[in-house]
A and B are shown apart, each in its own frame.
Chain A
Amino acid sequence: MGETTLNGFGAKPARPSGLRGLAADWASDQRAFKSASWGKAMMWIFLLSDTFVFSCFLLAYMTVRMSTTLAWPDPSSVFALHIGGADIPLILIAIMTFVLISSSGTMAIAVNFAYRRSRGLTVLFLLLTAVLGATFVGMQAFEWTKLISEGVRPWGNPWGAPQFGAAFFMITGFHGTHVTFGVIFLLIVAAKVWRGEYDRGTKGFFTSRPGDYEHVEIMGLYWHFVDLVWVFIFAFFYLW
């Protein structure tokens, strides 16, 4: 991947590779991650912390699923859609998953174009990612509406354990909030790319730090993380 501003500075002595390189980096001065800027390193650590949040949510869901005395509703039938005279299990969730995974693809393409400095294509793929993300949130809203109209509430539902609705709304809600914030920031980053702020290094409004195309990649880290989390939610909540 291309050079970032913070890496393009000064002389770069040759570094050993592999485990020796790792040890050399951690034994060196100034930086332990020689190729990561401050922003990128910070996003990685934040995502590690956020991983613990989602892990706790999922473990809590599994625990209440074991502790509850009532039967757990069958996700295949609860999340089935009646299309063309047949109940198709998990069809909406399958489409949602497809949409979100595709958005990771478009995000990766956007990052690539950003490092090639092709503004137009970067904006195009960032917007495409945002549209796919918004579509995902929209389908989630549809799913919530359908379940609520069928009587699913955080404190109960017609089919069994009340923890089903509680865990469902909490986990998908927390993930949906992540996606929504991601879409908002995708739009902000797209606007900045479109206005050429990363070419000129325009200072951020709040942070007064100069803009850089690396921000597209940092945005991408977050977006891929949100995708990855969804895979686990899909596996543990919908398929189990």
Chain B
Amino acid sequence: MVDATPRSHRDVPPAEVPEVELYHPRSWWTTYVFSQDAKVIAIQYAGTAIAIGLVALVLSWLMRLQLGFPGTFDFITPEAYYQFITMHGMIMVIYLLTAIFLGGFGNYLIPLMVGARDMVFPYVNMLSYWVYLLAVVVLAASFFAPGGPTGAGWTLYPPQAILSGTPGGNDWGIILMLVSLILFIIGFTMGGLNYVITVIQGRTRGMTLMRMPLTVWGIFTATVMALFAFPALFVACVMMLFDRLLGTSFFMPALVEMGELLRYGGGSPILFQHLFWFFGHPEVYIVALPAFGIVSDLISTHARKNIFGYRMMVWAIVIIGALSFVVWAHHMYVSGMHPWFGFFFATTTLIIAVPTAIKVYNWVLTLWRGDIHLTLPMLFALAFIVTFVNGGLTGLFLGNVVVDVPLSDTMFVVAHFHMVMGVAPILVIFGAIYHWYPKITGRMLDERMGQFHFWVTFIGAYAIFFPMHYVGLVGVPRRYPEIGAEAFMTAPVGGLNAFISVAAFVVGFAQMVFLFNLLWSLRHGREAGSNPWRATTLEWQTPTTPPPHGNWGEERPLVYRWAYDYSVPGAPQDFIAQNDPWPDRPARRP
């Protein structure tokens, strides 16, 4: 138990930093559009991310139409199919998941949870969103550019990414993709610096690092990782842009295309893979760590029990973050690397399972003999644990070189990463939205629509991705618009593919119910009050709900305890808020 003994309020150290005057918006525009308030920026980030995410959802439907019923839809040419998978992957990983976890939840929760009035540099934070929006616009523009968006696959591997055989390869598609990524990284850096410094330097009195909710730890560590991982992608994008526009040969070996020797020569395509995955693997954890953090808080709050092994949870987050920088080449076992590298990277990959397993055990042990309330956030959190264990176990398969080589580039890999970094984090996003929507809007999301949304999404996701593992095991390769004759396979997969597609449409439909719920409950939802979940963390203790600009009214809160004082024996309620000095004086009424 950490810091469970409350300290007298006289023990809270004096303020080290004077209050900084916040920017005072003077008009509707500076209040709601060009706002410097982290909470408004958070909603802008999340709204933009969900909007572009809907595009990716539609793209996945189109892909499933083709895979489930090949040859039925004439407008889905192989080129169009490649464009769908590329844009679906890129949008989901970068523009939806990264943006909503760090830009959305990061902006909303970090200042509130550490007791700050705002991010440390609100103006830079605002710029971050507008550059992100520009990146999204440039990305969306590629749908309307001549030749359409790039179809190089979300990994954009050269040399094919910039050759004429790939959709968008010698058109606008790849250029807009690379420019958009560069813009995204610039925008993210501006926001990310803010999140990191707010956590390190902007906490309120009494808020030590080891009293922070795990949500903040997850987002903070992920942001630090992103600041060190995105530079590799930035450099890769700049160099590929030069290869495409200036005719340099960083990534391009000598090539013959259509019987013609191209002007390229001497570059290293493997270099791109190294740079891409030096970004790409930490990116998995940039998405996963905020999910880990949020799910810890959801479980603890809704099981009315302190998180098991808080310190271990923090260190596991930090260790996973560090280890994820030395495992990147497990994405490259079939690239022709020296086998010794494969040995090294397989070892580090399997080591990362240790801190991850610690986290899973601690979540389960938090649930053990807890007072489990099966609220919507809790349902999503439980679904996350199951899904993450599932995806994590197939990760152990793929982390071993000998198992990976035959499974590489099959649908098994697609099923694995959708489980572990697609479905699992998105379940947490849903849970987090159901959890914090009352704080953001003052109203609860509708329970019945939420139950429908949860069960269809949860069961549907398994209906989609469980059969996909099998499809991959029998040998269906990924990224093929059509597999043609199935004679070489041990079992027919056509029927399974049709089943998966139908499940995907149903799950997609359930998301429309969710979006409707978000809008409907704004006006018709039940009044939530300031702390509907009876949670301990600071964001639930704001003087008004939704929190005003500046968050705290006159005085920033003083923190006396960690974030997990649930069901403390002898306490007047089953939770003690972080800013509650009990037993120094009687706990406040809820």
Contact = CB atoms under 8 A, between A and B. Distances in A.
Given A46-B189, A154-B246, A207-B121, A34 B16 contact: yes
A41 B227 contact: no
Given A53-B231, A60-B235, A60-B271, A29 B248 contact: no
Given A9-B17, A42-B197, A208-B23, A52 B232 contact: yes
A228 interface: no
Nearest to B24: A208
A17 interface: no
Interface stretch (B68-76, B203-211, B510-518): B203-211
Q: Max chain B CB contacts within 10 Å: which of A13, A56, A64? A: A56
A29 B242 contact: no
A25 to B, nearest CB: 10
Contacts of B15: 9-10, 30
B208 A29 contact: yes
Contacts of B484: none
Interface string A98-115: 000000000000000000
B106 to A, nearest CB: 15
A122 interface: no
Contacts of A162: 248-249, 265-266
A128 to B, nearest CB: 29
B266 A29 contact: no
B197 A41 contact: yes
Contacts of B256: none
B16 A63 contact: no
Contacts of A70: 265-266
Interface residues of A, number: 53
A63 to B, nearest CB: 5
A45 interface: yes
A29 B13 contact: yes
Contacts of A208: 21, 23, 123
Contact of B201 (A12, A38, A50, A57): A38
A166 interface: yes
B238 interface: yes
A154 B228 contact: no
Interface string A69-81: 1100000000000
Query: How big is the B interface, by class?
Result: 35 or more
B249 A163 contact: yes
B163 interface: no
Contacts, number: 166
A52 B235 CA distance: 9
Interface string A10-54: 111100000000000011111111101111011001101110110
Interface string B229-240: 011101110110
Q: Max chain A CB contacts within 10 Å: which of B17, B18, B203, B205? A: B17
A55 B278 CA distance: 12
A32 B200 contact: yes
A31 B246 contact: no
B120 A29 contact: no
A67 interface: yes
A45 B16 CA distance: 21
A240 interface: no
Nearest to A69: B266
A68 B266 CA distance: 4
A48 B274 CA distance: 20
Contact of A32 (B201, B234, B249): B201
B16 A9 contact: yes
B17 A67 contact: no
Contacts of B230: 49
Contacts of A82: none
B121 A42 contact: yes
Interface in B345-384: none
B82 to A, nearest CB: 27
B227 A31 contact: no
Interface in B483-499: none
Contacts of B200: 31-33, 41
A37 B13 CA distance: 18
Given A38-B197, A42-B120, A163-B250, A30 B271 contact: no
B206 A29 contact: yes
A41 B121 CA distance: 12
Given A49-B189, A155-B249, A36 B201 contact: yes
Given A10-B16, A42-B121, 5 more contacts: A9-B18, A53-B234, A67-B268, A155-B247, A163-B249
Interface of A: 6, 9-13, 26-34, 36-39, 41-42, 45-46, 48-50, 52-53, 55-57, 60, 63-64, 66-70, 154-155, 161-163, 165-167, 170, 174, 206-209
17 contacts: A13-B13, A29-B559, A42-B120, A46-B189, A49-B193, A56-B231, A56-B278, A60-B235, A64-B266, A67-B266, A67-B271, A163-B250, A163-B266, A170-B242, A174-B238, A208-B23, A208-B123
